[in-house]
Amino acid sequence: MLAIFRIIFMALFIVLSCVFGLLLCIVKPFHTNNVHIIAGWFCKVAKILGVKLELKYHETPKNIGPAVYVANHQNNYDLFTLPAMVPENCVSLGKKSLKWIPFFGQLYWLSGNILIDRTNRSKAAGTISKSAEKIKQKGLSVWMFPEGTRSYGRGLLPFKTGAFHTAMSADVPVVPVCMSTTHKTIKLNRWDNGTIYLEMLAPIYLDKDVSARDHASHVHQIMAAKITELDAQVRNK
């Protein structure tokens, strides 16, 4: 019964947030803070899922200005957990097919996020250049999932290099955002689904004499170690 209530609530929430979000975006289309505002709505659903979000920030990221934020991507519940960490003046990079999802896709586009065609490498490269230009010209930050897909319990997958090429082109740091493992930890029929730990790490400034691939491997190691640490906190709670 609890699972049915939660599913109905999430469905109604998504519909209503899309309606009100579209109204916001019609008044302020592509505004730099639309994503931050809407993300604030979505992270409130975590409480309905029986989840407590424990947020921790390194002291530096709040004052660094534009950056490329990279986060681990686990499952569909990320929609209600990771938004708690989305900073102001930040947009995300998502696959082009998202815009065909009724209401949500239009909201995603109008709120100012950047759509990328992953099936076309030349177009994808062009989108990376466009992202770098938006960072430079508008002072925006970009939120990206360097794994390129959800991990679904397979651990932190290898990183693609797009986020690191973007950061190097825009001459901004990469800021890792790590979340403890959520695979099979959220059960819709359980009242209390525990605590999920999210931590924003110190910015990493990329040396342009080092390849994007090497930077990706280095950041992957840092994030994997931090996620292991966060998972230990969950077990010891």
The CATH code of domain 2-236 reads: 3.40.1130
pLDDT at residue 115, as a whole number: 80
DSSP conformational letter for 98: G
**Cα angle for residues 59, 34, 52 (degrees, 5° grid):** 55
Residue type (1 letter), 172? V
Using only C-alpha atoms, what is the Rg of the chain? 17
Tell me the domain boundaries of the chain: 2-236
Q: What are phi and psi of 71, to 5 degrees?
A: -130, 155
CA distances to 33, 130, 177 from 170, in Å: 20, 10, 19
User: Block means of pLDDT (10 residues each) for the chain, length 237 residues?
Assistant: 91 90 86 90 94 91 85 94 94 80 81 75 66 83 92 92 92 96 92 96 94 97 97 85
pLDDT at residue 87, as a whole number: 93
pTM equals 0.91
Instruction: Compute the distance between CA of residue 149 and CA of residue 112 in angstroms, rounded to an integer.
Output: 21
Residue 144's beta-bridge partner residues? 70
Q: Which residues of 141-170 are buried (b: 16+ CB within 10 A; e: fewer)?
A: bbbbbbbeebbeeeebbebbbbbbbbbbbb
pLDDT at residue 111, as a whole number: 85
